[in-house]
């Protein structure tokens, strides 16, 4: 348990950031699944821009690393073809 005010605040901030990062990552993974599990290329091409946006947003917020985002985007675009 935190012993001073600064440690208590840090605990609150960490919990809030963890929840926000979890939401961002979850939305990103869901969008990626829609591309990867699309039944045909038109559905995949339709879901691709949304997934790219979600990956970029996760990287921008530092929920994932920039290189990880680049790797995901590359795999998504390859899968959507």
* Domain range summary for the chain, segments of one domain joined by +: 5-80
Q: Mean pLDDT over all residues of the chain?
A: 94
pLDDT at res. 1: 84
How large a percentage of the chain has pLDDT more than 90? 89
* Stated pTM of the model: 0.84
When pLDDT is averaged across residues 3-30 and rounded to a whole number, the result is: 96
**What is the CATH code of the structural domain delimited by 5-80?**
1.20.58.110
Cα distance between residue 61 and residue 77, in whole Å:
22
Which 8-state DSSP code applies to residue 52? H
The number of C-alpha atoms within 13 Å of 66 and in the hemisphere containing its C-beta is 1
pLDDT at res. 14: 96
């Amino acid at each position: 348990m935190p012993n001073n005010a600064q440690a208590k605040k840090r605990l609150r901030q960490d919990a809030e950031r963890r929840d926000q990062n979890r939401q961002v990552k979850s939305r990103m993974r869901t969008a990626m699944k829609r591309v990867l599990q699309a039944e045909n290329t038109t559905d995949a091409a339709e879901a691709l821009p949304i997934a790219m946006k979600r990956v970029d947003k996760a990287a921008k917020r530092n929920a994932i690393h920039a290189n990880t985002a680049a790797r995901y985007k590359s795999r998504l675009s390859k899968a959507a073809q």
